[in-house]
């Protein structure tokens, strides 16, 4: 069969791949559900160097097979090399479905793989299901968050990308899977990594914070973040934000929500955040949610434990003073 030909009948298996190990583990629960429904096997592809321990962990989490390509040249992610390996494996072992972690690296990898295989690719799926014909259906948010689209495939393999924290990591459930070590020759990358420097992260990570005071587009100027900082300091917390403050205004590099950090503080104060589904998806595990918004119809009030209707520029300083008095 020629590469790229759509062989609807012959393919089998659900594959999971992400260069981020946690994300690969998260996708295994959904992968298992789909594999069981299709009565096929669940496999993980693991690419890297000295990664046997990860292979063992994938087996512990219930995969039937790990296709392991362990090679010094694959120590760091490089799209050409990883693409070459995945493509080779897909041609030889013919998976029916491939779930690829939707990371900065995974998205271009999935798109290029789909192009090479002449297959369809549905990016950023927040839901996955199997229809009555045994076909995968990916669901993704579209039209700037105001609609969700269900997309089915006309070709195989059916390739989707899945963002982090969309699916829960399953409980470990070793089914006695096997590790298949493969010696795939990695393609020579066309770029070289000159250096990698870890970013310096100051303070507490959003995921670990007990109190988060978070701002949205209701905040007018960058310097007004100080208002949130002041309240967060009094409460011993950190400042968070909605996605547009990072992506559009570039005030922050990270954000809270479906495509950002999923947080679980004891207290989450959403200031000037409308509270649409993509934001709320990241704060569902917060113990107490407080919404501060001048629009009493704002969706944040549907999920908030406490709601304050009003101008954040008046409420934040007043709250800070009140807590200061209360907490001494
Ligand atoms: C695929 C996809 C993934 C996404 N992922 C995320 C995500 O992970 N996280 C995320 O946050 N967004 C995400 N979004 C964007 C999301 O759809 C919304 O656009 C975004 O959450 C809105 O941010 P906001 O609430 O800050 O702004 P807006 O929706 O503009 O809300 C601003 C709010 O501030 C209020 N306000 C204005 N002035 C004041 C004031 N002075 N005092 C009090 N209240 C005031 C307004 O009433 C309004 O409710 C995603 C979108 C897509 C398409």
Instruction: Calculate how far, in angstroms, residue 109's C-alpha sits from the geometric centre of ligand 1.
Output: 30
Q: Decide: 274 in ligand 1 pocket, CB within 6 A.
A: yes
Task: Report the candidate in 78, 51, 76 with the shortest Cα–Cα distance to residue 66.
Answer: 51
Distance between CA atoms of 213 and 202, rounded to whole angstroms?
A: 17
Helix axes 52-60, 21-37, angle to 10 degrees: 40
pLDDT at 173 over 80: yes
Q: What is the pLDDT of residue 184?
A: 87
In this predicted model, which residue has the larger pLDDT, 241 or 328? 241
**Nearest atom, ligand 1, residue 217 CA:** 26
More confident residue, 170 or 2: 170
Cα separation, 289 vs 283, in Å, equals: 8
Ligand 1 nearest-atom number relative to CA 313: 41
Higher local confidence (pLDDT), 24 or 196: 24
Residue partners of 114: CB distance under 8 A and separation at least 6: 120, 121, 159
Q: Is the CB of 272 under 6 A from ligand 1?
A: yes
Of all protein residues, the one whose alpha carbon is nearest to atom 29 of ligand 1 is 274
| Res 11: pLDDT | 86
pLDDT at 267: 97
pLDDT digits 0-9 by tens, 246-297: 989 999 999 999 888 989 999 999 999 999 999 998 998 899 999 999 999 9
* 11 close to ligand 1 (CB < 6 Angstrom): no
| CB distance 83 to ligand 1 below 6 Å | no
To test the pocket of ligand 1, the residue of 126, 213, 217 to mutate (highest count of ligand atoms within 8 Å of its CB) is 217
Give the residue whose CA is nearest to atom 11 of ligand 1. 242
**For ligand 1, is residue 261 a contact (CB within 6 Å)?**
no
Measured distance CA(203)–CA(209) in Å, rounded: 10
More confident call, 242 vs 193: 242
pLDDT digits (tens, 9 = 90+) for 294-320: 999 999 999 999 999 999 999 999 999
pLDDT at site 4: 43
Determine the atom of ligand 1 nearest the C-alpha atom of 275.
25
User: Cβ–Cβ contacts within 10 Å for residue 72, how many?
Assistant: 9
As a whole-number percent, the residues of the chain with pLDDT over 70 amount to 95
Q: Give the confidence band of 200 by pLDDT, cuts at 50, 70, 90.
A: low
Instruction: Identify the residue whose C-alpha is closest to ligand 1 atom 41.
Output: 311
Specify the ligand 1 atom closest to the Cα of 144: 53
Q: What is the pLDDT of residue 234?
A: 95
* Closest Cα to atom 16 of ligand 1: 278
Mean pLDDT of 100-105: 93
- For residues 243 and 227, what is the distance between their CA atoms, to the nearest angstrom? 19
How many whole angstroms from its chain centre is CA 288? Answer: 24
pLDDT at 201: 62
Given a cut of 60, whether residue 6 has pLDDT beyond it is no
DSSP 265-328: -SEEEEES----HHHHTTTTT-SEEEEEES-TT-THHHH-SEEEES-HHHHHHHHHHHHHHHH-
Q: Is the CB of 311 under 6 A from ligand 1?
A: yes
Determine if ligand 1 sits within 6 Å of the CB of residue 312: yes
| Residue 113 near residue 159, CB atoms below 8 Å | yes
Q: What percent of the chain has pLDDT over 90?
A: 77
Mean pLDDT over 129-146 rounds to 86
Using the mean position of ligand 1's atoms as its centre, give its distance from the Cα of residue 130 in Å: 32
Residue 3 binned pLDDT confidence (cut-offs 50, 70, 90) = very low
Q: Is the CB of 257 under 6 A from ligand 1?
A: yes
**β-strand partners of 127:** 139
Q: What does each C-alpha distance from 189 to 112, 118, 287 come to in angstroms?
A: 14, 22, 47
Which of 1-5, 241-245, 290-294 comes out lowest in average pLDDT?
1-5
- Report how far ligand 1's centroid is from the alpha carbon of 43 (Å): 38
User: Is residue 2 very low, low, confident or very high in pLDDT (cuts 50, 70, 90)?
Assistant: very low
pLDDT of residue 9: 52
Cα of 218 to ligand 1 centre, how many Å?
8
């Amino acid at each position: 069969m020629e590469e790229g030909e759509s062989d609807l009948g012959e393919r089998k298996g659900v594959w999971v791949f992400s260069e981020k190990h946690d994300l690969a583990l998260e996708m295994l629960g959904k992968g298992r559900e789909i594999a069981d429904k299709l009565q096929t096997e669940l496999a993980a592809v693991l690419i890297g160097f000295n990664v046997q321990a990860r292979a063992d962990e994938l087996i512990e989490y219930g995969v039937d097979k790990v296709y392991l390509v362990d090679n010094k040249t694959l120590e760091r992610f490089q799209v050409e090399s990883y693409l070459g390996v995945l493509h080779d494996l897909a041609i030889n072992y013919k998976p029916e479905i491939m779930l690829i972690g939707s990371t900065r690296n995974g998205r271009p990898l999935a798109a290029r793989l789909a192009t090479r295989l002449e297959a369809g690719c549905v990016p950023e799926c927040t839901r996955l299901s199997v229809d009555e014909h045994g076909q995968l259906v990916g669901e993704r948010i579209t039209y700037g968050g105001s609609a969700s689209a269900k997309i089915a495939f006309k070709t195989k393999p059916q390739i989707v990308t899945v963002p982090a924290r969309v699916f829960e990591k399953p409980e470990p459930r070793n089914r006695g899977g096997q590790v298949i070590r493969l010696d795939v020759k990695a393609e020579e990358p066309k770029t070289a990594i000159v250096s990698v420097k870890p970013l310096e992260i100051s303070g507490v990570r959003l995921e670990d914070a007990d109190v988060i005071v978070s701002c949205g587009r209701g905040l007018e100027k960058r310097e007004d973040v100080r208002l949130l900082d002041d309240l967060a300091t009094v409460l011993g917390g950190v400042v968070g934000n909605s996605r547009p403050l990072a992506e559009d205004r570039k005030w922050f590099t990270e954000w809270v929500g479906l495509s950002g950090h999923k947080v679980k503080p004891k207290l989450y104060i959403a200031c000037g955040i409308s509270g649409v589904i993509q934001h709320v998806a990241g704060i569902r595990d917060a113990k107490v949610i407080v919404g501060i918004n001048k629009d009493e119809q704002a969706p944040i009030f549907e999920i908030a434990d406490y709601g304050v209707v009003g101008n954040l520029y008046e409420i934040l300083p007043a709250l800070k003073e009140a807590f200061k008095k209360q907490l001494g």
